[in-house]
Amino acid sequence: MSSADGASQAPDPRLVRLAGKSRNFGFLLPHLPLLVAYGTAAESHVFTDPNTSLIKCRQFAEAMAADLISRARVRVEGTTQFDRLRALDREGYLHGDVGSAFHEVRTLGNEANHSGLDSADDAFRALRTCFRLGAWYHRLLTGSREQLPFVPPSPDHTPATENERLLQDVARARRELEEARLSYHDQASQAQAEQAARSAVERELAQAQAEREELARAVAAMQHQVEEFQAAAEAAQLSRRHAGATDTAAASAAVAERARLLDNAEQASREPLTEVQVRKRLDAMLTAAGWDVQDGRADLNLHVQGDWRGNGVAVREVTTARGRADYALYVDRKLVGVIEAKREGADLSAAEAQADRYADHPTDAQQRLTAWRTPLPFRYVSDGGETRFRSVLDPHSRTRRIFSFHQPRTLARWVRQAEEDEQAPSYRARLRRRMPELDERPLRPAQIAAVRGVENSLAFGKGQQGMGQSRALVQMATGAGKTFTAVTFSYRILKHARAERVLFLVDRNNLGVQAFAEFENFRTPDTDRKFADLYNVQRLGAEGMFASSKVVISTVQRLYMELTGATLPGTERGEGETGYDVEVPGGIEVGYNANIPPEAFDLIVVDECHRSIYGKWRSVLEYFDAPIVGLTATPVAQTFGYFNANLVSEYSYPEAVADRVNVDFSVYEIETRITAEGGVIAQGTIPVRDRRTRRQRYEDIDEDIEYGARQVGVGVISKDQLRTVVQTFRDRLFTEIFPERARRHPDTGALLWDEMYVPKTLVFAKNDNHAEEIVEVIRDVFGKGNDFCAKITSAARNAAERLVAFRNLPDLRIAVTVDMIATGTDVKPLECLLFLRDVKSWAYFEQMKGRGARTLSLTDFEKVTPGVGPKTRFVIVDAVGVTKKPKVDAAPLERHTDKQISLEKLLRKTAANTIEEEEVSTLAARLAKLDIQMTDEERAEIQRLSGGMELAKIVHEMVDAVSADRQLEVREAAERAGRDPARAVRDLIERAVQPLAAQPPLRARLLEMRRAKDILYDENGVDELLRAGAVADDEDTAARTVRDWRQYIADNRDEIAAMSIAFSAGSDVPPSVAMNRLNDVARSIARPPRAWTPDKLWQAYEKLGEAATDGARRTHTAPDLLALLRYELAGGAERGAPAPRPHEEVVRGRYQTWIVSQEQMGTRFTERQRWWLDRIAEATAKRVRFDTADLDYAPFTSHNGTDGFIAEFGGTRAEQIITELDRELSA
């Protein structure tokens, strides 16, 4: 348990005894024993010495904050409690009112220490707040949702009449204790339950009062040892820090602990609901879902007519043969289910058993008469925070979490469908029992495997972690037909499993258009009708979801807007959403929506699911009670994690090339001096261009400006760099890149440009302005017009029309884009990708590569690129080194650093009121720098747009708002006025950014000025070509591959070592099992981003001279992978391990040695016996170890299998030979 980290040794026995006497603070002993000392001391003095009690409360909160700082390894600038709380808040540990609670105790403690505050009421309030903080800390460290009610101490005598507030506070605390102790179970009525709770609390308070004197004596006896306990706590924290700095394992554990605490933080800030609060919440949830909630009295009315959500009545407190069910559910006057309610933190698994007993045993004749059938099919349990559901109509029914209760019409539909098909009464039953054989005719093998994998996973609920949604991942190479696959299984599930509706999520609007066309035009294999003729397909828009829709296509942002009614910043209600970086005030939170309830979809398909669609938008997906299928060509680590590693089908790019689904590619590199090193803009008059308007002006600079390679195309446009790259591309296009396309004059040998089609080329630019410059240079270098080269970006006019022209027409040969065509969008005739921007994420790079990999028929290709034959390959022209630089996994939800977050996003966050404190500081720094660069005219314009404030004044206010001293003043002033200190600080920050937030023209002009300041033009710098040519793997690439491979082995060393042993002779692991493990490793490393094959790894070792070979060209397979693994496990060349040799070569050599040794011992094998031995050796070469079960398969069955082998060698000798060969060949 995490709390074990709270101290370096067992707690002091005196503190253990003290904890046993404390009802309010004893539970903190396992976490930090010092908290028990401070908490009990504060409680024992609360009425007798309020000043001491307040000081102990302050020490309690300080010790807790220091302990959390130590556990979470939070960096604190300063030594005060205010500094600690600020750091914890910054790191995301203080959610809700936890920060305010800490500050309340800090303020009261300071007043007690410095001003002599001696109020019993303030002391009681601080004590109660300390208990709340203690309960919060317990929840944070353990994840527990256990009810921990405060047991209020009672004053020894009635306080003075002027301290009326103390009496009210004590009475309120007692009422809260009664509510916490209230339970309706095993009680005949609500009144009896309330009386039982009052009686229990009276006894509890009386007992606590009787124990107070003993607790006070124990506290007094230890008052001189508190410093000793404090020193022990500090020593434990110091030991924890030292271990994290010197011990790798401890540091790793600390990272995991920090992540766990952050995961717990938000829920820990919410106090668990009592049973009374749970009942109120469940009533509200049922009402929202369309249920009429009634008490089970004589005036019960089951004939209530509901609205479009159905006719449903939820009856409270119903007696069954096995106890009282909290709610009985009636649909169309038929009893169909029960709900068992529990206080939050109670054991919901036990509640499930109770719900089952109630559902299995209706009691009186009335219940049996109205029951649809017994046992009742639908069982719910809920504590108000978590709701679980099970339908016994499902085969092997399993409990799952749901967002809220299903609507009555949903249960009515399930009942009706069960009556119509008794053998397959539910959706999940139909997935198992009503899915016909797949018609494979229109599908490729990879698509067949994917459809079957998805359907099998859905039928058996695979990929379900805990009680969450079942999830399945399909990895399919770009261009292999993911969408067609999804339409295929969607159609089958709609028709045969009778799914109500399918949600198809895309990450961009243009991909939604493509998906809509794919669904609409899909011809069903069984009826040859269009999908859209059978089922309504809808792109979700402002009109909302149609009840008749069977397939809904949407971006996750549009779906969020429909669920919440929100309008996302920076989007139009009709179009808008194009990415995942939209800022949402308050984060992504979804509430119940009756128009799109959680059961609205029976299947969710997420296209391009490698993106962060399941990161900050995760709550949108988890709102729905539906399995999720993800489609991607490039899964990252987070993708596998989200889909619970349930990879139901995988189809790699090499496999797609081998199957002619994709074409292969080659790399052609262009490197120039400025691209590699940057350049210098000489002093004088230089052009400067406004990025938004493209208006150019000239400015004088007094000294040379140096710029680096990373600034090229972003802050600096070098005309000659662009011209050199494009000119080289043109000059080498038909001589080196596509030489087979060249057409020359028969006499002069000159290229006949008018008779050649430039291959369809997509150029990737850094930004929209960079794209504009590239378009101009390409048109100039090629001597062509607007119809030859065009910009296709989200900022371009008529981008969709241009994309259609680029895809279908022969005239438009080159398109320049930033992101719009980077992922998902099909342009099948593409043959060339020119990279003028770098890409850090391997997944994004693979998606960009995929634009060129598509295949198409010769007829379709001839329409856009005539006279060149079929498309057989594509070429990556790398002008920025993108193919050589290491790539990283995408990391959803990564926090922006100061350098990463853009000025545009910072300004947008001021308007959305989502800007954080550190970001205010960043924004102030950016604007201060911009103010220095401005002219006097520009400063005057900004002052006018801001309503009279100079930019310097705005910056000053922002800096002041995030100053620690200023915030401390504001907090203390708020505390004195009885206001929320945290709210006061937030108000200070919001006032500081108000001039920016309230003036869109001001924000727009600041952004224009910043962009204008950033763009410089190097017109005079001369670039030179350093290298141009086809790229082959070099030693650096091989060394990087081997280095990464060794890291993979180190990360998985234990598993790999065990697998290596499994292949050793005499291992008790069956050879087939061992081989499966090796193949699992091979499949794992073949996935992106590694994309390693045994052949590729072996070639890397050969390139470095670390692999021995007989010189024969062979394709290396999984057994050769084992040779590399064993080589590295033995220490490699550094430890003198013999160089790995191809497994086939090793087995062949060992086999010949064994034959010779047998002959030297006088054994002569007949020709028939050698046939058997040779085949066994060949099988060992393919599978590492020989499996005797193979004797009953080809080729051995041609000689009567096992019986033939035994007949040839004799029983005893046959066994000896197998053992010897296993030992000699598999060692």
pLDDT digits (tens, 9 = 90+) for 1129-1172: 887 777 777 888 888 888 888 899 999 988 888 888 899 999 99
- pLDDT per residue over 100-137, tens digit each? 999 999 999 999 988 888 888 899 999 999 999 999 99
Q: What is the pLDDT of residues 226-235, one digit of tens each?
A: 777 777 777 7
Identify the pLDDT of residue 125. 93
Q: Which of 103-112, 336-345, 442-451, 962-971 has the lowest mean pLDDT?
A: 962-971
Mean pLDDT of 20-25: 88
Within a 10 A sphere around the Cβ of 285, how many other Cβ atoms? Answer: 20
Question: Which pLDDT belongs to residue 704?
Answer: 64
Q: Is the pLDDT of residue 686 over 70?
A: no
- Phi, then psi, of 606 in degrees rounded to 5: -110, 110
List, for residues 537-550, the tens digit of each pLDDT value: 999 988 889 999 99
CATH number of the domain where residue 586 is located? 3.40.50.300
Contact 38, 55 (CB under 8 A): no
DSSP code for 78: S
Q: Same domain, yes or no, for 254 and 287? A: no
Which pLDDT value is given to residue 822? 56
With respect to residue 348, please indicate whether it lies within any of the assigned structural domains: yes
Is 386 a member of any domain? yes
Q: Is residue 895 part of a domain?
A: no
At 833 the pLDDT is 92
- pLDDT over 90 (residue 602): yes
Residue 894: inside a domain, yes or no? Answer: no
| Sheet with 873-878, side-by-side order of all strands | 789-791, 814-817, 761-764, 832-835, 873-878, 664-672, 1025-1030
Supply the pLDDT for residue 240. 65
Phi, psi of 383 (to 5 degrees): -115, 20
- Tell me what pLDDT residue 581 has: 47
pLDDT of amino acid 895: 33
Whether the Cβ atoms of residue 299 and residue 372 lie closer than 8 Å to each other: no
Structural domain count of the chain: 7
Same domain, 403 and 316: yes
DSSP conformation class of 549? E
Here the CATH number for the domain that contains residue 381 is 3.90.1570.30
* Those residues with Cβ within 8 angstroms of residue 876's Cβ, 6 or more apart along the chain or in another chain: 665, 666, 667, 668, 833, 835, 849, 852, 883
On whether residue 1018 sits in a domain, the answer given is no
Using alpha carbons, select from 372, 373, 388, 386 the residue that is nearest to residue 333.
372
User: Which is higher by pLDDT, 1057 or 694?
Assistant: 1057
Task: Give the pLDDT confidence score for residue 579 in this predicted structure.
Answer: 47
In the predicted model, what is the mean pLDDT of residues 155-168? Answer: 69
pLDDT of residue 158: 58
Report yes or no on 182 lying in a domain.
no
Closest CA to 763 of 875, 671, 860: 875
- 1109 and 1196 both lie in a single domain: no
Q: Which residue has the higher pLDDT, 632 or 706?
A: 632
If you average pLDDT over residues 610-622, what whole number do you get?
Answer: 72
Same domain, 1095 and 953: no
What percent of the chain has a predicted confidence (pLDDT) above 90?
31
For residues 416 and 488, state if they share a domain: no
Q: pLDDT band for position 819 (50/70/90)? A: confident
Amino acid 782: pLDDT: 95
Query: What's the whole-number mean pLDDT along residues 1070-1089?
Result: 77
Alpha-carbon distances of 741 from 602, 605, 860, 862, 864, rounded to whole Å: 51, 42, 18, 14, 15
pLDDT for 494 equals 97
Phi/psi for 1018 (5° steps) reads -95, 95
Domain stops at, among 1110, 1141, 1172: 1141
Boundary (domain end) residue, out of 878, 913, 931: 878
Cis status, amide bond into 1071, omega within 30 of 0: no
Q: Is residue 205 part of a domain?
A: no
pLDDT at residue number 1113 = 65
Tokens found for residue 120: 């019993």
Do 947 and 922 have their domain in common? yes
Mean pLDDT of 326-343: 93
pLDDT digits (tens, 9 = 90+) for 182-225: 776 665 566 777 787 788 778 877 787 777 777 778 777 777 77
**How much is the pLDDT for 708?**
66
Q: Residue 56: what pLDDT? A: 93
Give the per-residue pLDDT at 716.
67
Q: What is the pLDDT of residues 873-894, one digit of tens each?
A: 899 999 888 887 765 443 332 3
Query: 983, exposed or middle or buried, with CB in 10 Å at 0-12, 13-18, 19+?
Result: exposed
- Please check the confidence at residue 71 and state whether its pLDDT lies above 70: yes
* pLDDT tier at 1226, thresholds 50, 70, 90: confident
In whole angstroms, what is the distance from residue 1082 CA to residue 1125 CA? Answer: 11
Q: Which residues pair with 32 in a beta bridge?
A: none
* Contact of 85 with 94, CB cutoff 8 Å: yes
Q: Mark whether 14 and 31 lie in a shared domain.
A: yes
Give the residue with greater pLDDT, 79 vs 337. 337
3-state secondary structure (DSSP) of residue 1091 = coil
Model pLDDT for residues 695-715, shown as the tens digit of each residue: 666 566 666 666 666 666 556
Question: For residues 46 and 319, which has the higher predicted lDDT (pLDDT)?
Answer: 46
Between β-strands 628-632 and 387-391, what pairing exists: parallel, antiparallel or unpaired? unpaired
Boundary residue ending a domain (1000, 1022, 1047): 1000
Secondary structure (3-state) at 1198 = helix
User: How many Å apart are CA 120 and CA 45, to the nearest integer?
Assistant: 9
For residue 1016, the tally of other CB atoms under 10 A from its CB is 20
SS (H, E, C) 970-1025: HHHHHHHCCCCHHHHHHHHHHHHHHHHHCCHHHHHHHHHHHHHHHCEEECCCCCCE
Residue 399: predicted pLDDT: 93
* Token pair of 786 as six digits: 């607007």
Q: How far is the C-alpha of 670 from the C-alpha of 881, rounded, in Å?
A: 8
Q: Which residue has the higher pLDDT, 155 or 759?
A: 759
Per-residue pLDDT at 826: 76
Contact 951, 934 (CB under 8 A): yes
- pLDDT score at 1059: 72
Alpha-carbon dihedral of residues 1169, 1170, 1174, 1176, nearest 10 degrees?
Answer: 20
**Do 38 and 116 belong to one domain?**
yes
Residue 5 confidence (pLDDT) above 50: no
- Asked, for residue 888, whether it belongs to a domain, the answer is no
954 shares its domain with 862: no
Whole-angstrom distance, CA of residue 990 vs CA of residue 998: 11
Residues 1168 and 1137 grouped into a single domain = no
- 970 CB-contact burial (10 Å; exposed 0-12 / middle 13-18 / buried 19+): buried
pLDDT at 206: 79
pLDDT band at 409 (very low <50, low <70, confident <90, very high): very high
Higher pLDDT, residue 1035 or 767: 767
Which residue carries 């430039």 as its tokens?
A: 758
Distances (CA, A) of 449 to 443, 476, 632: 10, 10, 15
Using the predicted structure, report yes or no on whether residue 838 has a pLDDT greater than 90.
no
Question: Which letter does DSSP use for residue 741 in this model?
Answer: G
Q: What pLDDT is recorded for position 577?
A: 39
Say how far residue 105 (Cα) sits from the centre of its chain: 37
Interatomic CA distance for residues 1041 and 433, integer angstroms: 48
Reduced DSSP (H G I as helix, E B as strand, rest coil) percent helix, strand, coil of the chain, to 5: 50, 10, 35
- Taken as a whole, the chain contains a residue count of 1227
Alpha helix stretches (DSSP H) within 436-580: 445-459, 482-496, 509-521, 531-534, 556-564
* pLDDT, position 231: 72
Residue-wise pLDDT for 556-591, tens only, equals: 889 998 998 877 654 443 343 344 445 555 457 789
Q: What is the mean pLDDT of residues 524-548?
A: 93
For residue 157, pLDDT beyond 70: no
Q: What is the pLDDT of residue 918?
A: 76
Per-residue pLDDT of 375-392, as tens digits, reads 999 999 999 888 999 999
Q: Is the pLDDT of residue 492 over 60?
A: yes
Cβ atoms of 404 and 485 within 8 Å: the answer is no
Question: How confident is residue 1076, by pLDDT bands cut at 50, 70 and 90?
Answer: confident
**3-state SS assignment for residue 820:** coil
Q: Which domain does 820 fall in, by range?
A: 664-878
pLDDT digits (tens, 9 = 90+) for 1027-1053: 887 766 567 677 888 888 888 888 777
Do residues 347 and 402 both lie within one domain? yes
Give me the percent of the chain exceeding a pLDDT of 70: 85
Give how far Cα 1113 sits from Cα of 657, 1100, 1102, 1109, 1120, Å.
Answer: 21, 14, 12, 9, 14
353 and 480 fall within a common domain = no
Q: Is the pLDDT of residue 6 over 60?
A: no
What's the mean pLDDT when you consider all of the chain?
83
